[in-house]
Amino acid sequence: MKKIYCAICQGEDYTIKYQERIDYTKIDFSPRRAPDRNHCRIVQCKKCGLVFANPIFDNDYILDLYRNFAFINELQVDLMGEDYLEQLRESGSVIGGKGNLLEIGCGNGCFLKKAKEFGFNVYGVEPGKNAVDQADQDVKGNIINDVFKAGLYEEKFFDLVCVIQVFDHLIDPNDVLRNIRKVMKENGHILVVSHNVRFYLTRILGEKSSMYDIEHIYLFDKVTIKKLLEKHGFQVIYVKDMMSRYTIGHIIKMFPFPDFARHFLTKTARRLGIIDKRIKIMGGNMVALAKKVDNATSQNYLT
């Protein structure tokens, strides 16, 4: 385990929110798995309010887990792709014309496929081999099976970089943002989708919330994600809550029900034929759009 610092202010003065809960027999970095309440110690920076895990596993161990996780390809993946495409459409009036789009942590390329159909030239990078293996042939050739790092792409190539449900997982978000700026065209944009750790249900559930998970390192809210982007010379256009589509089955799986209740509800939903029924709600996600500028002078557009 290694000690880390606040990604925004580099501070090491924090309060402890939750003590470490790690069962080393259950360490799994597969996305959308049923919550197991496994997490590192959770702290909050006293200066800027950023919530993060500290200490965390060593870099090599984390990267190995991401390279070898089992990708769960399910209906929920497609629904998430629809949500992200909707955010892409909504940002269109700001971004302008379509061009080169990079998604960092693209999974099986579900969103990339939709973005390509929408008119973008798409590229993706994803460390999980199993996820890339399951990518559609239409986009698979444009996905690099690796972590995002310097040298993967030529500088000033991308009009839009999408970082979707990834910032929570980054060992060093500052290094990632520095490299994003390098590959982004002047006046390019970054679209971020992330969990909002200050979502009302997360605050109610506390430590039982699925946001407090072994694979999450930094947990942002509307204020802290804005601070991080501005730190790296991005003018934040907006940060807002977003609606998300979920199946009934996914909600049952992710909510912290006792195991017996989860099994009963899942069985009942299947019997009633509603396990795959889709609903659209505020589920604790937020979206941020920002523009690359020389000097970030963004106003307070938090909604």
If one counts the domains in the chain, the total is 1
pTM recorded for the entire structure: 0.90
Q: Answer for the pair 278, 212: CB distance below 8 angstroms, yes or no.
A: no
Angle between helices 222-231 and 173-183 (to 10 degrees): 50
Greatest extent of the chain over all pairs of C-alpha atoms, in Å = 57
Q: What is the pLDDT of residue 30?
A: 62
Q: Is residue 26 part of a domain?
A: no
| Structural domain of 104 | 74-292
- 33 belongs to a structural domain: no
For 71, which DSSP code? P
Q: Is residue 53 part of a domain?
A: no
Give the mean pLDDT of 256-279: 94
- Residue 161 domain-assigned (yes or no): yes
Q: Is 181 inside a domain boundary?
A: yes
Residue 184: exposed, middle, or buried by beta-carbon count in 10 A (0-12, 13-18, 19+)?
buried
269 is a domain residue:
yes
pLDDT tens digits, one per residue of 272-303: 999 999 999 999 999 999 999 975 444 444 44
**What is the enclosing helix (H) or strand (E) of 174?**
helix 173-183
Q: Residue 54 domain-assigned?
A: no
Q: Which helix (H) or strand (E) holds 292?
A: strand 278-292
pLDDT in tens, 219-249: 999 999 999 999 999 999 999 999 999 999 9
pLDDT of residue 36: 75
Predicted pLDDT at 133: 93
Tell me the three state secondary structure of residue 204.
helix
Q: What percent of the chain has pLDDT over 90?
A: 77
pLDDT at 32: 52
* Residue closest to 28 by CA, chosen among 15, 19, 37, 17: 37
CATH number of residue 133's parent domain: 3.40.50.150
8 Å CB contact between 230 and 11:
no
- pLDDT (0 to 100) of residue 95: 83
Main-chain phi, psi angles of 268, to 5 degrees: -65, -45
**Per residue in 42-81, pLDDT tens?**
999 999 999 999 999 999 999 888 888 777 667 888 899 9
Nearest C-alpha neighbor of 4 from the set 24, 146, 195, 14:
14
User: Is the model more confident about 66 or about 188?
Assistant: 188
What is the C-alpha separation between 29 and 57, in angstroms, rounded? 12
Q: Is residue 253, in this structure, part of any structural domain at all?
A: yes
Structural contact between residues 82 and 113, judged by C-beta atoms closer than 8 angstroms: no
User: Which stretch of DSSP H or E encloses residue 201?
Assistant: helix 200-205
